[in-house]
Amino acid sequence: MIERIIFHLDMDAFFASVEIVKNPELKGKPVIVGGNPDRRGVVSTCSYEARKFGVRSAMPLIEAKRRCPQAIFLEGNFAIYREYSDQVMTLLESTFPIVEVVSIDEAYMDATDIANQYKGAFELGRFIRKAVFDKTLLTCSVGIGSNKLIAKIASSFAKPNGLFEVPAGKEAEFLSSLPIESIPGIGSKTQAVLNHHGIKIIKDLQILGLESLVQNYGASGYYFYMAAIGKDNRPVESSEQPRKSIGAETTFEKDQHERQILDAALKELFDKAYKRMRKHHMRARGISVKLRFSDFQTITRACTLEAHSNDYDVLMKSLRDLFHRSYAEGTPLRLIGMTLEKLTDSYWQPTFWDWQKERDLKNI
């Protein structure tokens, strides 16, 4: 049986980090997203600078203000957070064959069939973390293991902005010294019950064994034991939802300004996005380009078509025209990206030209 390779990616202090990217003056300051601390509400998330004062997600805002009165409190903008999340998830979906999005800032990926293409799981982890940062200027933490449970716990060891891999066969050893609340699903109430019975670390569960745990805790005891020895057979299940946009981008190894290279890169990105749009039988009415310069200044330009289209040549021409209007000839670029936007899954009319493009795109 082939050993699975599962990744868990968790964005670091996601909402607060997006706010800092949008406003670099916030960098290094305690930032709390959740709203006005003088009104009822809870912390959505906070920067690591705020966490040093004991501020945590779901904490009442008034308590967060008491602990960190110098914090910068922000209402937050979910639409912007969703845009950044879509960028990250699109990147994951373009890299991994199976991606399970579990929240706006968290996903599992099955890398079993592709890890060797990147010289192993750890190198793939380094690649995806760099790709996420290059795409969004946000950091993430990645855990790698033989199943979802191990990968999720490993990602908590990687925080913030790190990478942690648990070698196959070492799961029980890795878990043994951890507190029982490290196991997903063991909340404060269950922890209190187990602690009362003298069970404080995962090794205690391992020692008690399956029979004893089932006898004392029923079905939950079965889960406690299987989790304690690092067993989890849940598959990574694709969770793709109808998308409003599909895009692709690339960061050059060194800044580029030659028109031939930029045009070739633009076409390659378009082909990737167009292929994914076809896969979902969708059409686009909007196109955008993203340009990041040597000094990290980033601009985005967009245009809207007269009608939704799935015609390769029409969309490609619109993209090229938009790029040429947006790019100043000779300016070095660090990153180039494009997105097909305002997607709809309404009537898709295949043509002979579609058949030809389908044949060509199979080789991308």
What is the C-alpha to C-alpha distance for residues 323 and 263, in angstroms, rounded to an integer? Answer: 9
Amino acid at 260: Q
* pLDDT tens per residue, range 16-45: 999 999 999 999 999 999 989 988 788 999
Strands 163-165 and 140-145, sheet pairing? parallel
Residues 122 and 149 in one domain: yes
Mean pLDDT of 135-162: 96
Residue 100 lies in a domain: no
SS (H, E, C) 36-87: CCCCCCECCEECHHHHCCCCCCCCEHHHHHHHCCCCEEECCCHHHHHHHHHH
As a whole-number percent, the residues of the chain with pLDDT over 90 amount to: 66
- Asked, as a colleague might, if the bond just before 24 is cis with ω within 30 of 0, I would say no
Same domain, 111 and 153: yes
Both 10 and 149 in one domain: the answer is yes
**CATH code, domain carrying 119:** 3.40.1170.60
**Higher model confidence: residue 219 or residue 171?**
171
Strand partners, 72: 31
What is the pLDDT averaged over residues 265-290? 88
Contact 186, 180 (CB under 8 A): yes
Q: Which of 19, 93, 100, 106 is catalytic?
A: 106
Other beta carbons within 10 angstroms of residue 21's beta carbon come to 16
The mean-pLDDT minimum among 156-165, 245-254, 342-351 falls in: 342-351
- Contacts by 223-226 with C-beta closer than 8 Å and gap 24+? 223/185, 224/183, 224/186, 224/194
Q: Which of 151, 166, 181 is the last residue of a domain?
A: 166
Looking at the fold, whether 219 and 195 belong to one and the same domain comes out as yes
Question: Longest C-alpha distance within the chain, in Å?
Answer: 73
Q: Is the pLDDT of residue 159 over 90?
A: yes
Looking at the structure, tell me whether residues 36 and 181 fall in a common domain. no
d(CA 87, CA 98): 16
> Residue 253 catalytic?
no
Residue 360: what pLDDT?
A: 55
Within-domain flag for 285: yes
Q: What is the pTM of this model?
A: 0.67
**Based on the domain organization, do 279 and 343 belong to the same domain?**
yes
Question: pLDDT band at residue 351, thresholds of 50, 70 and 90?
Answer: very low
Question: Please, what is the average pLDDT of the chain?
Answer: 89
**Model confidence band, residue 363 (pLDDT cutoffs 50, 70, 90):** low
Boundary residue ending a domain (150, 166, 182)? 166
Tally of domains within the chain: 3
**CATH classification at residue 180:** 1.10.150.20
Decide which of 166, 181, 216 is a domain's last residue: 166
One domain for residues 27 and 142: yes
Please give the backbone phi and psi of residue 166, each rounded to the nearest 5 degrees, phi first.
-105, 115
List strands edge to edge, sheet with 106-110: 98-103, 106-110, 6-11, 140-145, 163-165
Q: In what helix (H) or strand (E) does residue 224 lie, and over which residues does it extend?
A: helix 219-228
In a domain, 240, yes or no: no
Beta-carbon contacts of residue 22 (< 8 Å; ≥ 6 apart) = 80
Do both 198 and 219 map to the same domain? Answer: yes
CB 151 within 8 Å of CB 8: yes
User: What mean pLDDT is predicted for residues 338-351?
Assistant: 67
CATH of the domain at 292: 3.30.1490.100
pLDDT in tens, 167-216: 999 999 999 999 999 998 898 899 999 999 999 999 999 999 999 999 99
User: Between these two residues, 19 and 300, which has the higher pLDDT value?
Assistant: 19
Mean pLDDT computed over 254-274: 92
| Whether residue 161 is found in the same domain as residue 20 | yes
Amino acid occupying residue 360: D
pLDDT surpassing 50 at residue 352:
no
| Structural domain range at position 267 | 245-361
